[in-house]
């Protein structure tokens, strides 16, 4: 190693720290990488591991009720003294109670996902002294969210795992980053390497949110079968759910193709046929289609049934090649960004 290479590396790391300084200041951590909340996966162990590695872990509340969430927050606080957040789904019937639980436990950042957050929820988070993070699927909505009180935004491209919008991060970033300076913006969807994170920071992002890359980490409680499916899969295996008939909308969810996704197609066809034969009303048919995946993520993540369950995964799944400790994943992402900066400086 040439004698001046260490100071050059230190300088490159400082440059990276400057690029994401708004993100680290907002989150209160040293690496502006959020662990995207993943239902069933993002519980105390992974969340604490991400925060302990310098990033920002986020608990996925999913369908948990207030008591379970309170226990999960306390469990996470027992494993880390660093800041972490909680992700709540806006259509949860007990949203107000869940916000109260977060505030009582002094959670500093609440992420409201699954739609534009209702005004009452925004006020409750802000009045309670927490910072509000919201998802912006387009520039007009991003501006509206900022006006209504969002302290930071996540823009998540369709490359992501789980529930997705229609637009890729490449396009969303160009639409939003140059025109939104009011709050920090975190990019998500398809990110698996530090060079890509660096590129978005240079476009104006304050940090990134990654889910898929952390799902198979050593500290993730996901079933070994779930992790193995991630290690084996290529980018092309992580596809959005397919809608068979425009009369029966299907919520787009990106995951690995398996027997469940094939059965879902057959189930849609059968349900549509029963509707056409007059055996089901349109509403009943729609409900049956919506209920097909009930409990399916848990079946894959916890029970390990990766053939029939829902193996939500982003296209970055092709970059998950080993079950690594969370700290090693974080180090790798930072090193890749630093190496890219170093290479450029000649
Ligand atoms: C298995 C899985 C479950 C997820 N569950 C949630 C969730 O409950 N709430 C949420 O807001 N996002 C959820 N997501 C999205 C992640 O928080 C994150 O934004 C996404 O994974 C980023 O894209 P990437 O997968 O390409 O890294 C989930 C993603 C995965 C892979």
Pocket flag, ligand 1, residue 261 (CB < 6 Å): no
pLDDT in tens, 172-203: 999 999 999 999 999 999 999 999 999 999 99
pLDDT at residue 273 in the model? 97
Which is more confident, 117 or 345?
Answer: 117
The CA R_g of the chain, rounded to the nearest whole Å, is: 20
**Band of pLDDT at residue 344, cut at 50, 70 and 90:** confident
Closest CA to 322 of 221, 222, 235, 215: 215
- Reading the block at residue 26, the tokens are 């907002």
Å from CA of 27 to ligand 1 middle? 19
Q: Token pair 């969807």 is at which residue?
A: 189
Give residue 6's pLDDT: 75
Out of 35, 36, 306, give the residue to mutate to test ligand 1, the one with the largest number of ligand atoms within 8 Å of its CB: 36
Report the Cα–Cα distance between both ends of the chain, in Å, rounded: 15
Count of H helices and E strands in the chain?
Answer: 15, 11
Does ligand 1 come within 6 angstroms of the Cβ of 157? no
On the question of pLDDT at 229 being above 80, the answer is yes
Strand order in the sheet with 253-256: 162-163, 253-256, 238-240
Task: Please give the number of the atom of ligand 1 that sits closest to the Cα of 111.
Answer: 11
pLDDT over threshold 80, residue 10: yes
Q: Which is nearest to 237 in space by CA: 320, 176, 155, 343?
A: 320
**What pLDDT score was predicted for residue 9?**
92
Q: Are 36 and 155 in contact (CB under 8 A)?
A: no
Average model confidence (pLDDT) across the chain? 96
Distance 252 CA to ligand 1 centre (A): 13
Contact in structure between 41 and 301 (CB atoms under 8 Å): yes
**pLDDT tens-digit series, residues 281-331:** 999 999 999 999 999 999 999 999 999 999 999 999 999 999 999 999 999
190 lines ligand 1 (CB under 6 A): yes
> What number is the average pLDDT over the span 18-30?
98
Helix 326-344 and helix 194-202, axial crossing angle in degrees, nearest 10: 60
Q: Which of 160, 189, 214, 317 to mutate to test the pocket of ligand 1 (most atoms within 8 A of CB)?
A: 160
Mapped onto helix, strand or coil, the DSSP state of residue 156 is: strand
Q: How much is the average pLDDT of 148-172?
A: 97
In this structure, the number of other CB atoms found within 10 A of the CB of residue 27 comes to 30
**pLDDT tens for each residue of 99-125:** 999 999 999 999 999 989 999 999 999
What pLDDT score does 238 carry? Answer: 98
Q: What is the distance between the alpha carbons of residues 146 and 57, in angstroms, rounded to a whole number?
A: 23
Q: How far is CA 240 from the centre of its chain?
A: 16
Residues 52-92 have pLDDT tens digits of 999 999 999 999 999 999 999 999 999 999 999 999 999 99
119 CA distance to ligand 1 middle (Å) = 24
pLDDT at residue 197, as a whole number = 98
pLDDT of residue 5: 67
- Index of the ligand 1 atom closest to the CA of residue 312: 1
75: which residues sit within 8 A by CB, 6+ positions away?
A: 43, 44
pTM: 0.97
Nearest to 86 by CA among 33, 146, 39: 39
Q: Residue 1 pLDDT more than 60?
A: no
Alpha helices of the chain — where are they, by DSSP H?
5-19, 21-27, 44-52, 66-79, 95-104, 119-127, 139-147, 169-176, 194-202, 212-215, 224-232, 259-276, 282-291, 296-301, 326-344
Ligand 1 within 6 A of CB of 87: yes
Could you tell me the distance, in angstroms and rounded to a whole number, from the CA of residue 161 to the centre of ligand 1?
5
């Amino acid at each position: 190693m040439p004698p001046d290479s260490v100071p050059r590396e230190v300088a490159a790391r400082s440059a990276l720290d400057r690029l994401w300084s708004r993100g680290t200041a907002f989150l209160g951590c040293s690496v502006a990488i959020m662990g995207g909340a993943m239902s069933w996966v993002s519980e105390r162990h992974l969340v604490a591991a991400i925060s302990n590695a310098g990033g920002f872990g986020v608990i996925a509340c999913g369908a948990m009720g207030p008591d379970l969430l309170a226990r999960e927050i306390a469990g996470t606080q027992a494993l880390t003294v660093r800041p972490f957040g909680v992700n709540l789904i806006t259509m949860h019937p007990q949203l107000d109670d869940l916000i109260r639980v977060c505030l009582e436990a002094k959670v500093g950042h609440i992420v409201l996902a699954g739609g534009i957050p209702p005004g009452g929820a925004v006020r409750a988070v802000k009045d309670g002294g927490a910072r509000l993070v919201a998802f912006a699927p387009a520039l007009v909505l991003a501006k509206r969210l900022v006006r209504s009180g969002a302290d930071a935004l996540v823009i998540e491209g369709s490359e992501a795992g789980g529930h997705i919008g229609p637009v890729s991060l490449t396009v969303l970033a160009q639409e939003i980053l140059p025109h939104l300076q009011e709050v920090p913006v975190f990019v998500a969807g398809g990110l698996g390497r530090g060079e890509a994170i660096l590129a978005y920071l240079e476009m104006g992002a304050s940090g990134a949110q990654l889910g898929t890359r952390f799902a198979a980490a050593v500290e993730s409680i996901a079933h070994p079968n779930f992790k193995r499916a991630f290690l084996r899969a290529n980018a092309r295996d992580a596809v959005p759910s397919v809608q068979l008939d425009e009369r029966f909308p299907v919520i787009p969810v990106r995951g690995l193709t398996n027997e469940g996704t094939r059965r879902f197609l057959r189930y849609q066809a059968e349900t549509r046929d029963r509707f056409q034969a007059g055996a089901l009303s349109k509403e009943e048919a729609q409900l049956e289609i919506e209920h097909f995946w009930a409990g399916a993520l848990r079946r894959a993540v916890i029970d390990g049934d990766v053939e029939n369950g829902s193996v939500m995964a982003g296209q970055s799944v092709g970059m998950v090649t080993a079950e690594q400790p969370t700290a090693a994943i974080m180090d790798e992402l930072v090193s890749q960004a630093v190496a890219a900066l170093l290479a450029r400086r000649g």
